[in-house]
Structure 1
Amino acid sequence: MLDTMTFTKAAGGICGALLVFLLGKWAAEELYHVDAHGEAAYVIEVESGEDVAEVEEVDFATVLASASVEDGAKVFRKCSACHKLEDGANGTGPHLYGVVGRDKGAVDGFAYSDTLASMDGDWSAENLSGFLERPSSYAPGTSMSFAGLKKVEDRADVIAYLDSLDD
């Protein structure tokens, strides 16, 4: 049987925990102001969406024309953990010597993922840019786990650097 003192201790413990929880909730609401009260003191007027200027998309060839080989060498450091630049020296990924203009999945002795092995065409600057932007979107199922280069300038710099390495 449950005696009165044990029941009182258990009930007191539950009530104490509830009290701590409620006080913590109250303190957090006071500190972080979860609910907004009243109106905004300063309202910024925004014109309708029709007159908003659209962002001009720059042609990749234009960005590539102004790419920096030196900056590309710096950005390539992200790639150097898996890719080698010497002809025939594969690492975790295939060697990148002469990659610009080379057929996709064409490095002898490298086991490409089925996705890249089945792709037709060559690694043009535009194809490389699409792949480097987000490899998993360009070639779903690729074994390359690199997240990608978001900036078009970084992609152009790396491609210019890789293109400068072969004869």
Structure 2
Amino acid sequence: MFDTMTLTKVLGAFCGAFLVFLLGKFVAEELYASRVGHHDGEVVQGYLIDTGGDDEPTEVAEGPTFEEVYAEADAGKGERVFNKCKACHQLEQGANSTGPYLYNVVGRDVGTAEGFGYSGALSAVADVWTPEELSGFLEKPASYAPGTSMGFAGLNKVEDRANVIAYLATFGG
């Protein structure tokens, strides 16, 4: 079925196709590279597509502030959001797990859960867990406190953060 001549033809076809591919790449690079020029020390784009837009930055309409959303937060909905937190956090005082316990966390000093070894990154960014500080941390923990050992990706929706903080505020204090 397969003899030496057939294998030679297949190998030659692959080599020929590869050479055509390389030639096409070379031609495309030369075509587009010759359109880009240097003007007074800076590179000028060869193919500029005018979209008709101006260079003024457009203002993005922002939603309500966290304070406005927190004022209308629903602790019942926050309990459902807290299900994401249950894997690492407990609501009983002194019951540390992978993360520190969250009993009385709203208004508590940062890094003061008894018996939990903190990384130290949190105390560098905040003193007290106010609702605003908690919201910033829960949005994206790694960006808020670089070096934190919390591996959670974060809660993107401001409503989810407000609801879970309202739920946590019902425990303790």
Band the TM-score falls in, shorter-chain normalisation? 0.7 to 0.9
Gaps of 5+ in 2: 19-50
Alpha-carbon offset, residue 48 of structure 1 = 6.0
Residue aligning to 2:27: none
- Alignment RMSD, CA only? 2.7
**Which AA in structure 2 matches 1:102?**
R
Q: Give me the TM-score of the superposition, normalised by structure 2.
A: 0.70
Q: Does 1:70 align with 2:76?
A: yes
Alpha-carbon offset, residue 128 of structure 1 = 0.2
When residues 120 and 66 of structure 1 are mapped into structure 2, their CA distance, relative to the original with a 3 A threshold, is: closer
Alpha-carbon offset, residue 46 of structure 1 = 8.3
User: What does residue range 152-163 of structure 1 map to in structure 2 within 5 Å?
Assistant: 152-163=158-169
Alpha-carbon offset, residue 19 of structure 1 = 8.5
Q: Give me the TM-score of the superposition, normalised by structure 1.
A: 0.72
Alpha-carbon offset, residue 47 of structure 1 = 7.5
Alpha-carbon offset, residue 116 of structure 1 = 2.0
Alpha-carbon contact 1:104-1:119 (below 8 Å) kept: no
CA distance in 1, matches of 2:52, 2:169: 46
Query: Number of aligned pairs?
Result: 139
Alpha-carbon contact 2:111-2:122 (below 8 Å) kept: yes
CA distance in 2, matches of 1:118, 1:14: 63
Q: Does 1:96 align with 2:96?
A: no
Residue aligning to 1:58: 64
CA distance in 1, matches of 2:157, 2:124: 28
**Which AA in structure 2 matches 1:61?**
E
When residues 151 and 108 of structure 1 are mapped into structure 2, their CA distance, relative to the original with a 3 A threshold, is: same
Alpha-carbon offset, residue 10 of structure 1 = 3.4
Name the structure with the higher helix share.
Answer: 1
Which whole-Å deviations, capped at 9, do the CAs of 1:102-137 have from their partners, x for residues lacking one? Answer: 001011110111212444410000000000000000
Give the alignment partner of residue 14 of structure 1, picking from 5, 11, 14: 11
Give the alignment partner of residue 149 of structure 2, picking from 139, 143, 146: 143
| Percent identical | 50
**Which AA in structure 1 matches 2:61?**
V
Give the alignment partner of residue 122 of structure 1, picking from 110, 125, 128: 128
Gaps of 5+ in 1: 22-44
Residue aligning to 1:165: 171
Alpha-carbon contact 1:115-1:140 (below 8 Å) kept: yes
Alpha-carbon contact 1:105-1:119 (below 8 Å) kept: no
Which whole-Å deviations, capped at 9, do the CAs of 1:128-152 have from their partners, x for residues lacking one? Answer: 0000000000000101000000000
**Other structure's SS at 2:121 match:** helix
**Other structure's SS at 2:154 match:** coil
